[in-house]
Amino acid sequence: MKQYVITLMLMYCAHSVNAKKTADDSVKTFLKHFYSKNQKKLDISTTGIGIERSAVTYGDNYIPVYFNKVDIRANIAEFKVGVGNAYYYSRLSNSTYNTQVNTWSLGVNYPISVLGIGKANSTKGVRLVPFFTADFGHSNFREPASNQKLAAAYHVSVAPGYRLKIPYFIIDFRLNTTWNAMTQTKYSDQLVLLTPTGALIKEKSFKKF
């Protein structure tokens, strides 16, 4: 009888331990699922204003344009506005001409949370998460001294990248692939420039998209 009671007690203890382990596993599974779901929301709910430094190549005769932009982001929506200098090299005059470029774009910035590493919200933690962006925008080319409009271009960009989230800040690293389409004006098919000697020259600027 005594041995039977001891056996029952051992079975009860084993059952209690297994039940507790099962409960703990269930809680861990729930918390892991809840955290993953919540972290995805945190990755998407990125709202703020920042600055961007980027380079774009517009045409065969252009040195890449370096832009300084203001980046406004609300969840996955992203709006950018900026200014840069486009240096056009004229083969006819063997000279370089500076034009000011004003640009804007509107697009999406979507994080791929399932591939993220680390845990973070806006005030604590560190997290590295890949993302994908796509945007549509417009650029105006103006002569700096006279503010005369010289040309315009539309563009479509796509970019994979990585986002580093640290307390209160986000740093994005992205590789932009941009398609530019020239639309109008004095660059058109023939570029007209006034050389320092006063002579007018004509040559093609944008030979392709």
Ordered by start, the domain boundaries in the chain are 1-44, 47-203
Give pLDDT, residue 200: 45
How far apart, in Å, are the Cα atoms of 43 and each of 170, 204, 209? 11, 46, 35
- Spell out the residues 6+ positions from residue 92 whose beta carbon is closer than 8 angstroms to its own: 201, 202, 203
Report pLDDT for 112: 93
| CA distances to 83, 95, 151, 171 from 110, in Å | 25, 43, 32, 15
Residue 39: its pLDDT value, please?
Answer: 85
Which pTM value belongs to this model? Answer: 0.68
Instruction: Assign 3-state DSSP to the chain and report helix, strand, coil percentages, each to 5.
Output: 20, 55, 25
pLDDT beneath 50: ranges in the chain: 185, 187-191, 198-209
What was the pLDDT predicted at 203? 46
> Tell me, what's the pLDDT at 189?
40
d(C-alpha 69, C-alpha 48), whole Å: 14
**Which candidate, 177, 188, 87, places its Cα nearest to that of 133?**
177
Evaluate whether 195 touches 176 at the Cβ level (below 8 Å): no
Instruction: Give the pLDDT score at 33.
Output: 64
Strands 95-111, 177-182: pairing is unpaired
Distance CA 177, CA 159 (A): 6
- What is the rounded CA–CA span in Å between residue 50 and residue 52? 7
Strand ranges (E), the chain: 47-56, 62-74, 77-90, 95-111, 117-120, 125-142, 149-166, 169-174, 177-182, 191-194, 200-203
Supply the pLDDT for residue 202.
46
Is the CB of residue 102 less than 8 Å from the CB of residue 76?
A: no
191-194 and 177-182 strand pairing:
unpaired
Using the structure block, give the residue that is written with the tokens 């105006």. 140
What is the SS3 assignment for 183?
Answer: coil
